[in-house]
Amino acid sequence: MAKNIIIGVGNILFCDDGIGVLAVEHLQKNYTFSPDIELLDGGTLGFNLAEYFLEYDNVFILDTISLDAKVGEIFKIPAQELLGGGEYKNTAHEVEVLSMLEACELYDTKADVTIFAIVPHDIETIKIGLSDVLEDKFEYFIQSVIDGVCELGIEVLKKT
Please enumerate in sequence order all residues whose Cβ is within 8 A of that of 30, keeping only pairs 6 or more positions apart, or say none. Answer: 158, 159
What whole-number distance in Å separates Cα of residue 93 and Cα of residue 96? 5
Reduced 3-state DSSP string for 52-79? HHHHCCEEEEEEECCCCCCCCCEEEEEH
Please enumerate in sequence order all residues whose Cβ is within 8 A of that of 113, keeping only pairs 6 or more positions apart, or say none. Answer: 53, 58, 59, 60, 61, 78, 79, 101
Q: State whether residue 43 is helix, strand or coil.
A: strand
Average pLDDT over residues 52-66: 88
CB distance 27 to 62 below 8 Å: no
Average pLDDT over residues 13-27: 96
111-115, 125-129, 136-140: least confidently modelled range: 111-115
CB distance 60 to 128 below 8 Å: no
What whole-number distance in Å separates Cα of residue 42 and Cα of residue 2? 21
Tell the CATH topology of 4-158.
Rossmann fold (3.40.50)
* pLDDT in the model for residue 83: 61
Q: Is the per-residue pLDDT at 115 higher than 50?
A: yes
pLDDT range class, residue 112, cuts 50, 70, 90:
confident
What whole-number distance in Å separates Cα of residue 146 and Cα of residue 148? 5
Q: Is the per-residue pLDDT at 4 higher than 70?
A: yes
End-to-end CA distance of the chain: 28
pLDDT range class, residue 85, cuts 50, 70, 90:
low
Q: Is the per-residue pLDDT at 81 higher than 80?
A: no
pTM recorded for the entire structure: 0.86
Please enumerate in sequence order all residues whose Cβ is within 8 A of that of 88, keeping only pairs 6 or more positions apart, or say none. Answer: 65, 66, 67, 82, 94, 98
At 87, the amino acid letter reads E
Q: Is the per-residue pLDDT at 106 higher than 70?
A: no
* pLDDT in the model for residue 149: 96
Pseudo-torsion of CA 86, 90, 96, 100, nearest 10°?
0
